[in-house]
Amino acid sequence: MSVFPYAVAGWIFLVGVYGLATSRNLVHAVGCLSVAQSATYVLLLAVGYRRGGTAPVFSDTPTTASVVDPVVQALALTDVVVGATVTALLLALVVQTAKRHGTTDPDELHELKG
């Protein structure tokens, strides 16, 4: 069962991509992209887990304590921040698309309009 957490991360990614490809609404598509991206958090934290390890913060634990990998946690942290702002940027694009084309269905957006 030691690959199970990795498999969960892979499954989340594939589900997100499936939703993205079959989406009928741009807001839904942005949500699916966030789901696909969140697979990286699960994968990173699964890679860094150490059985019996505690949080890698030594303000109230001795520095000899067994801790989980802080490198992947730092990667996940910046990933969350960047993901949130990129989602905001994409939603801003959706707002403008809805205004200019009057639709948020990607299948109805056939051509570029000025």
Residue 108 lies near other proteins (rule: CB under 8 A) = no
Q: Would you count residue 25 as binding other proteins (CB under 8 A)?
A: no
Q: Which residue in 27, 69, 106, 109 binds other proteins (CB under 8 A)?
A: 69
Considering only 27, 35, 86, 109, the residue that binds other proteins (CB under 8 A) is: 86
| Rg of the chain on CA atoms, in Å | 19
Of the candidates 25, 54, 92, 108, which one interacts with other proteins according to CB under 8 A?
Answer: 92
Task: Report the residue from 24, 25, 49, 108 that binds other proteins according to the rule CB under 8 A.
Answer: 49
DSSP 25-37: SHHHHHHHHHHHH
> Are 12 and 32 in contact, with CB atoms under 8 Å apart?
no
35 neighbors 12 (Cβ within 8 angstroms): yes
Query: What residues contact residue 95 under an 8 Å CB cut-off, 6+ apart?
Result: none
Q: Is 45 in the site for other proteins (CB under 8 A)?
A: no
Rounded Cα distance, 55 and 31, in Å: 30
In the complex, the residues that contact other proteins under the rule CB under 8 A are 2-7, 10, 13-14, 17-18, 21-22, 46-51, 55-59, 63, 67-74, 77-78, 80-82, 85-86, 88-89, 91-93, 95-96, 98-102
